[in-house]
Amino acid sequence: MAKALIAVVGAGLMGHGIAQVFALAGHEVTIYDSVKASLDTVHKRILANLKDLGDDERAVERVTPVADLGEAVRAADYVVEAVLEDLPLKQKLFAEIEQFVRPDTILASNTSVIPITRIMEGLKRRERALGTHWWNPPYLVPLVEVIETQWTTPQAIDFTMKLHAAAGKQPAHVKKDVPGFIGNRLQHALWREAVSLVEHDICDAETVDKVIKAAFGRRLAVLGPLENADMVGTDLTLAIHKTVLPDIDSRPAPSPYLEKLVADGKLGFKSGEGFRKWTAEQQAELRSKVLKHLKNARTLDV
């Protein structure tokens, strides 16, 4: 793929990692943030990641922090936004960005859950706008969901899919702009049942996590649920669904158990207790275990 000029808007957790991936793939990247401290530290943060991963440290030289939005995006072929998860802020930013860029520059939002349609509906050229949902950390998790709206052209989707594939990511085309896209719908379908099992005292939180991690979680990185259904037989899958689905949680609202945890201030790591209690050491240990696992998984062929 030809090298492109990429502009990243927002230099936080996701933005700096996205800039790193594109720079490592050989693209020239500008990065803008309205907070000076974010821009001032972006090179340091990218360099630390590159060192830690053993990736080519010279890639950081292709990332240019720019303190003016117009200057950052003016020449870009592709702009990706990763500012705070705030709809009016994102709408306002894209309206501004559109004044500076070429008519064919592709505009992408990295929102986690806001519908892309809502973010992009006010644009003059909505056909070049789409979503790209990266996962944290962007340089370790391969998936990028590429979300099409009713206005997005096939050319914009095709360019974006190829751009990410060439940068070593695994782009997944989401053909309709549905809440949660694909990944978070799947993830939270599982989380709903996980909370329900604890709520109904079938087991405790630790046991839910153990059952997942020690059983199908082991396989999930190499065997998706539909591959698995084919492997065991769709007839067996149908039989299991007939027995189990009527009993699985299907409430269209969050569990009262989860509502109560939040109301009681049991917010997880940040308060020291959520579904379980967490000391500072246990939190650090779990974070480091996840990072180590993701680094090791870079060698997996997913």
Residue 65 · residue 41 · CB < 8 Å: no
Instruction: Identify which range of 12-20, 21-29, 162-170, 239-247 contacts ligand NAD by CB under 6 A.
Output: 12-20
Residues 89-128 as x/- pattern, contact with ligand NAD by CB under 6 A: x---x----------------xxx----------------
Work out whether the CA dihedral 7, 12, 14, 17 comes out positive or negative. positive
* Min CB(89)–ligand NAD separation in Å: 6
* Min CB(100)–ligand NAD separation in Å: 14
Nearer residue to ligand NAD within complex by CB, 18 or 198: 18
Q: Is 10 in the site for ligand NAD (CB under 6 A)?
A: yes
Distance CA(214)–CA(230), nearest Å, equals: 22
Nearer residue to ligand NAD within complex by CB, 135 or 159: 135
Nearer residue to ligand NAD within complex by CB, 93 or 198: 93
Q: What share of the chain is helix, strand, coil (3-state, %, to 5)?
A: 55, 15, 35
Residue 70 · residue 100 · CB < 8 Å: yes
Active-site annotation, residues: 112, 133, 145, 184
Instruction: Identify which range of 6-14, 47-55, 98-106, 256-264 contacts ligand NAD by CB under 6 A.
Output: 6-14
Q: Is 14 in the site for ligand NAD (CB under 6 A)?
A: yes
**Count of residues that interact with ligand NAD, criterion CB under 6 A:** 23
Residue showing the smallest CB distance to ligand NAD in the complex = 12
Q: At what angle do helices 205-214 and 183-199 cross, to 10 degrees?
A: 130
Q: Is 140 in the site for ligand NAD (CB under 6 A)?
A: no
Q: Is 198 in the site for ligand NAD (CB under 6 A)?
A: no
CA-angle at 72, arms to 71 and 73, nearest 5°: 95
Instruction: Identify which range of 11-19, 149-157, 260-268, 292-300 contacts ligand NAD by CB under 6 A.
Output: 11-19
Distance CA(180)–CA(102), nearest Å, equals: 30
Nearer residue to ligand NAD within complex by CB, 128 or 133: 133
Site for ligand NAD in 29-88 (CB under 6 A): 33-35, 38, 82-85
Distance CA(44)–CA(50), nearest Å, equals: 10
Size of the chain in residues: 302
Q: Which helix (H) or strand (E) holds 147?
A: strand 143-147
Contact residues for 302 (Cβ-Cβ < 8 A; gap 6+): 142, 170, 221, 222
Distance CA(110)–CA(130), nearest Å, equals: 9
**Contacting positions for ligand NAD (CB under 6 A):** 9-15, 33-35, 38, 82-85, 89, 93, 110-112, 134-136
